[in-house]
Chains A and B, each alone.
Chain A
Amino acid sequence: MNFHSKPLVLPFLFFLLAGSILFHAQAQTVRFWYHFDNADNPMTSLVEKFESENPGIQIEAENIPWNSYYDQLYTSIAAGDAPDAAMVKLNALPRLLEMEALVSLDNYFSNWAGKANVQENLFELTRAADGKHYYLPVQYVILYLYYRADLFAELGLQVPNTCEDFRTVAKALTRDTNGDGRPDTYGFGFRGGKGGHDHWASLTLSRNGVGFGKGQLTSAEGVKGTQFVLDLFQKDKVFPPSAPNDGFKEIIGAFQAGVTAMTIHHIGSSKGMVEALGNKVSAAPVPECGGGHWTAFGDESTAIFSSAEDKDAAWKWISFLSSDGNNAEFNKATGQLPVTKTDSAKWNLHEKRFVDATVASLPYAQLLPNASETADFTNSVWPISMQRALTGQIDARAMNREIDSLYNP
């Protein structure tokens, strides 16, 4: 550098710095809320990859604790401080639509090449009651029955296909193994706390003519289903005594510790199960009850909120998460199943037996009603009435009546 160019250096550096600041100031920020239980999540690497592919868009991804996720989401929308995009479940869709909080994604879908790579039935499942799409599927699971294959082999038991089989094996698996006069293994880890409605549903809603329509739960078959659950706890005593309060951690912990021999959950917990139990744990579809089959379809999608400043930027981010390769990375953290066909075809994160149980359950995997009452059902009406029924404060008919009157006032 010669003497004559030195005076140009400072102005050059100044404009370079100013340009950098201005560039970052103009970079569009997309605020994204998610809920990962796994602390070692790849959201950071996904954000970095997206930002390198999309200069000019910055992602502020925030992990919100699951227990208060929807509390915070709804209150943030009401307060005008909603994120631009977030992970959402179908049972929140009616409320979010009532709040006019969502952006229709139909125009984005029609111009998106990645749409063909997402499993078609997921688009149908996530369609809103008004026929539009507000959700973009990002992962899914289907609930199945975990069982201790070693205990089954020890006792010469077969995997239960029907509710009657289920009751028989659960009773056989409830044992006093150390001779102290008290059972120390139980046949089934029932989740009586919040989130356990899927357990009850598999044993009740499967029955012919039983659903959430008016009078269906209070019919003889409906009451019989709930009574079946109550009898398992109160008469057969195949649930641990803590069942009325047990949540996710309790049922998984009890199963891994050998306190229970069966429970219901999904592929998201399979990695932990294998780490704890190895080949002793296996999975099968939930039993058929009362002539039918019902298991929960665990959905998860992303959505763009109507308050988002740059909806196009938000769309780029959420479509990135549901595209080939990125969707696989996303699901490596959550342990759930990818929605893209290409990622599903080469998916090897989970042991085959759990994938097989999931796929075998797909034909009868169902969602709860797409109504705003479902949030009340899952958050308060079901857990409270189930706990009261299990502890004998109300009977099966009273429990079903509470649920029926919620959906059919």
Chain B
Amino acid sequence: MGKTPFRHSFQVLPYVMVAPSVVVTLAIVFVPMLQAIWMSLHEYVLFRPKAIQWIGIQHFLKILEDEVFWISLQHTVVWISLTVPAQLLLGLLTALLLNQHFFWRPLARALVIIPWALPSVVISLMWVWIYDANFGILNEFLLRLKLISYSIPWLADPDTALYAIILTLTWQGFPFFAVMILAGLQAIPKTYYEAAAIDGASVIQQFFYITIPGIAGVIFTSVLLRIIWVANSLDVIFVMTGGGPGYATHTLPLYAFVEARTSLDYGYGSALAVTFSLLLTILVVLYLTRAQRSIDQ
């Protein structure tokens, strides 16, 4: 038997199959990223094309002294740390309900998708009217229930505007958790619950010792994705308040967007975006490290 000329034959086909998606990803993700990094290191104001020049880290130094950056960062932390857990909690409750048997369960499972399926602009406009100080149904309900004595301008009051939008985004995003967790719940064998019941475990104990470990992986992945998506989302805020009143609903991605698109200062806007990306990357790495350790335990 003769020797084969190569120990391993080189397979070209897999690379050819993957190439189109790699090219597209490079073009629409990595090239703009590199472009943003380049702009962040330049004085780049769109209506002053002749004044574009390299300035190194000047924008990043300016960010450290920018009051609006710190306000926006604070709001971003509040935004993520309230929205994601609220969506998770509501999604978990919904999934547990949808995992029960009732005659209109198929309809319920379809209806729960609606907030997730609606375009963000439609949701934003709808909730602007819900929160309206003169005609909104939220104020009307609360007044009739005598929980408030006068209409609250939810979106015009800096103390309530951000939380009002957090509620909107919670409504929009909980179906994602509901669907993901429901899939996880249905993968848990019923025999586990039966065996636990025979051993005398209560419903609460079954939930904490069977259900939660069974869907831990789903929760881990879903929360990671939602942290990234919620952190980056600005469409709902932009339509509902534009970042106002004042800076009350400014988050970092919104601030970067406004600086770039409205003030046409793409250099500083890109620097804000790059800074935010670095901070988010640190958060994601910390989350991955911590959460993975918990799951492994």
Known contacts A74-B264, A241-B153, A384 near B247 by CB under 8 Å = yes
Q: For residue B161, which residue of chain A has the nearest CB?
A: A245
Known contacts A71-B261, A241-B153, A376-B263, A384 near B246 by CB under 8 Å = yes
Find out whether the CB atom of A71 lies under 8 angstroms from the CB atom of B49.
no
How many chain A residues touch the partner (CB < 8 A)? 35
Find out whether the CB atom of B47 lies under 8 angstroms from the CB atom of A99.
yes
Distance, CA A253 to CA B155, complexed state (A): 17
Known contacts A241-B156, A259-B134, A393-B246, A379 near B263 by CB under 8 Å = yes
Query: For B48, what are the chain A residues with a Cβ–Cβ distance below 8 Å?
Result: 98-99
Choice from A74, A181, A193, A241 contacting B244 with Cβ under 8 Å: A193
Find out whether the CB atom of B47 lies under 8 angstroms from the CB atom of A391.
no
Partner-A contacts on B (CB < 8 A): 46-49, 132-135, 149-153, 155-158, 241-248, 258, 261-264
Distance, CA A244 to CA B248, complexed state (A): 12
Choice from A74, A372, A388 contacting B247 with Cβ under 8 Å: A388
10 A–B contacts from the bound complex (CB under 8 Å): A78-B46, A182-B150, A241-B151, A242-B153, A245-B241, A246-B156, A259-B134, A384-B247, A387-B246, A391-B245
Query: For B133, what are the chain A residues with a Cβ–Cβ distance below 8 Å?
Result: 240-242
Partner-B contacts on A (CB < 8 A): 71, 74-75, 78, 95-96, 98-99, 181-182, 192-194, 240-246, 254, 257, 259, 372, 376, 379-380, 383-385, 387-388, 390-391, 393
Choice from A75, A244, A390 contacting B46 with Cβ under 8 Å: A75
| Interface hub of B158, B246, B258 (most chain A Cβ within 10 A) | B246
| Interface hub of B243, B258, B264 (most chain A Cβ within 10 A) | B264
Distance, CA A380 to CA B248, complexed state (A): 14
Query: For A194, what are the chain B residues with a Cβ–Cβ distance below 8 Å?
Result: 242
Find out whether the CB atom of A245 lies under 8 angstroms from the CB atom of B155.
yes
Query: For A379, what are the chain B residues with a Cβ–Cβ distance below 8 Å?
Result: 262-263
Distance, CA A239 to CA B133, complexed state (A): 12
Q: For residue B259, which residue of chain A has the nearest CB?
A: A380
Find out whether the CB atom of B46 lies under 8 angstroms from the CB atom of A245.
no
Distance, CA A193 to CA B249, complexed state (A): 14
Distance, CA A71 to CA B155, complexed state (A): 25
Distance, CA A240 to CA B135, complexed state (A): 12
B270: min CB distance to chain A, Å: 14
Find out whether the CB atom of A71 lies under 8 angstroms from the CB atom of B262.
yes
Query: For A96, what are the chain B residues with a Cβ–Cβ distance below 8 Å?
Result: 47
Distance, CA A193 to CA B156, complexed state (A): 10
Find out whether the CB atom of B242 lies under 8 angstroms from the CB atom of A193.
yes
Known contacts A99-B47, A240-B134, A387 near B245 by CB under 8 Å = yes
B288: min CB distance to chain A, Å: 36
Q: For residue B266, which residue of chain A has the nearest CB?
A: A78
Distance, CA A376 to CA B263, complexed state (A): 6
Question: 3 nearest interchain CB pairs?
Answer: A388-B246, A387-B245, A241-B153
Find out whether the CB atom of A245 lies under 8 angstroms from the CB atom of B261.
no
Distance, CA A240 to CA B155, complexed state (A): 13
Distance, CA A99 to CA B46, complexed state (A): 8
Find out whether the CB atom of A244 lies under 8 angstroms from the CB atom of B244.
yes
Not counting A74-B264, A95-B47, A241-B153, a sample of 20 additional A-B residue pairs whose C-beta atoms are within 8 angstroms of each other reads A71-B261, A71-B262, A74-B47, A75-B46, A99-B49, A193-B244, A240-B133, A241-B157, A242-B153, A242-B155, A244-B245, A244-B246, A245-B241, A245-B245, A384-B247, A387-B245, A391-B157, A391-B246, A393-B158, A393-B246
A234: min CB distance to chain B, Å: 13
Find out whether the CB atom of B156 lies under 8 angstroms from the CB atom of A245.
yes
Distance, CA A242 to CA B135, complexed state (A): 11
Query: For B261, what are the chain A residues with a Cβ–Cβ distance below 8 Å?
Result: 71, 75
Find out whether the CB atom of A254 lies under 8 angstroms from the CB atom of B245.
no
Distance, CA A101 to CA B120, complexed state (A): 35
Query: For A98, what are the chain B residues with a Cβ–Cβ distance below 8 Å?
Result: 47-48
Q: For residue B239, which residue of chain A has the nearest CB?
A: A67
Distance, CA A390 to CA B264, complexed state (A): 27
Query: For B243, what are the chain A residues with a Cβ–Cβ distance below 8 Å?
Result: 384
Find out whether the CB atom of A380 lies under 8 angstroms from the CB atom of B49.
no
Q: For residue A376, which residue of chain B has the nearest CB?
A: B263
Query: For B46, what are the chain A residues with a Cβ–Cβ distance below 8 Å?
Result: 74-75, 78, 99
Query: For B157, what are the chain A residues with a Cβ–Cβ distance below 8 Å?
Result: 241, 391
Query: For A242, what are the chain B residues with a Cβ–Cβ distance below 8 Å?
Result: 132-134, 153, 155-156
Q: For residue A97, which residue of chain B has the nearest CB?
A: B47
Find out whether the CB atom of A383 lies under 8 angstroms from the CB atom of B244.
yes
Query: For A246, what are the chain B residues with a Cβ–Cβ distance below 8 Å?
Result: 156
Query: For A78, what are the chain B residues with a Cβ–Cβ distance below 8 Å?
Result: 46, 49
Choice from A74, A192, A259 contacting B245 with Cβ under 8 Å: A192
B214: min CB distance to chain A, Å: 45
B233: min CB distance to chain A, Å: 18
Distance, CA A380 to CA B132, complexed state (A): 23
Query: For B258, what are the chain A residues with a Cβ–Cβ distance below 8 Å?
Result: 380
Q: For residue A384, which residue of chain B has the nearest CB?
A: B246
Distance, CA A391 to CA B132, complexed state (A): 17
Query: For A259, what are the chain B residues with a Cβ–Cβ distance below 8 Å?
Result: 134
Find out whether the CB atom of B263 lies under 8 angstroms from the CB atom of A182.
no
Distance, CA A26 to CA B134, complexed state (A): 57
| Interface hub of A74, A78, A384 (most chain B Cβ within 10 A) | A384
Query: For A240, what are the chain B residues with a Cβ–Cβ distance below 8 Å?
Result: 133-134, 153
A211: min CB distance to chain B, Å: 23
Distance, CA A243 to CA B247, complexed state (A): 16
Query: For B149, what are the chain A residues with a Cβ–Cβ distance below 8 Å?
Result: 181
Distance, CA A393 to CA B68, complexed state (A): 14
Q: For residue B243, which residue of chain A has the nearest CB?
A: A384
A363: min CB distance to chain B, Å: 33
Find out whether the CB atom of B151 lies under 8 angstroms from the CB atom of A388.
no
Query: For A243, what are the chain B residues with a Cβ–Cβ distance below 8 Å?
Result: 156
Distance, CA A166 to CA B222, complexed state (A): 56
Choice from B134, B150, B248 contacting A254 with Cβ under 8 Å: B134
B15: min CB distance to chain A, Å: 33
Query: For A388, what are the chain B residues with a Cβ–Cβ distance below 8 Å?
Result: 245-247
Query: For B264, what are the chain A residues with a Cβ–Cβ distance below 8 Å?
Result: 74, 95
B146: min CB distance to chain A, Å: 12
